[in-house]
Structure 1
């Protein structure tokens, strides 16, 4: 590997660490906000509620793909949300084996309270970056992820 390629590898490694550190910091801050409102909810559960608030009725597989969780983990998380009466499973009209997941009114209420907190934290993280800078960074990370597939 040439010196330049080695340098690119090192920079990509640092970018990965920086993204992981940012995600960890955001998760801690979001969890602290959630704890003020609903102490027994985790960031993972709220993440699924937030996803459903934008895509109500998607199935468990789609949820798992979006939040990068395997089938057994997503089943456990959805079961936990169902027990708390935050989501409900509804059999798909076209394929009864396929269950669509919908927010309940209680789930919608939690998102109405928690989602603005999360958005504010992301706005704070974005600082004085403009939309174009964030779009370029997003494109870069998506390209790097695609390169691994």
Structure 2
């Protein structure tokens, strides 16, 4: 059966979308049981700042493939919950830099391992070769849409 004659959820991309949503929803459910001051999307911001503190919102938005409006909302809520702090960027007059607060670092450290565990659970039935094939296939899809993906 060709990809065109299949139902959307039966296609390669459809299955990828469903699998991704299932993992994301499971992680969100686990986060909400542990904390009421952070959600999955905010946790992605905390993870970016843990990896590289002091980023500008535009850099995080590009890395997470989110709009400016979405980032503004995520930042506002994370600041309100004292997970991140912002400071003016001395090298750019109208820009700001974002930093993890001590509370944000604590929240990140509490939840990051749970996220890793959930990602491992989701793929535990895949052998090494299958993992390599899935990674390679998803990388090709990503690079089709964003050829400079690794440059961000």
TM-score range, shorter chain: 0.7 to 0.9
RMSD: 2.2
1:46 to 43, 46, 64: 43
CA–CA distance in structure 1, aligned partners of residues 56 and 19 of structure 2:
29
Maintained 8 Å contact 2:83/2:102: yes
Maintained 8 Å contact 2:24/2:40: yes
TM-score, length basis structure 2: 0.82
Structure 2 runs not aligned, ≥5 long = 147-152
TM-score, length basis structure 1: 0.83
1:60, distance to aligned residue in structure 2 (A): 0.6
Alignment partner of 1:70 is 2:46: no
2:84 to 82, 87, 90: 87
Structure 1 runs not aligned, ≥5 long = 1-5
Maintained 8 Å contact 1:50/1:111: yes
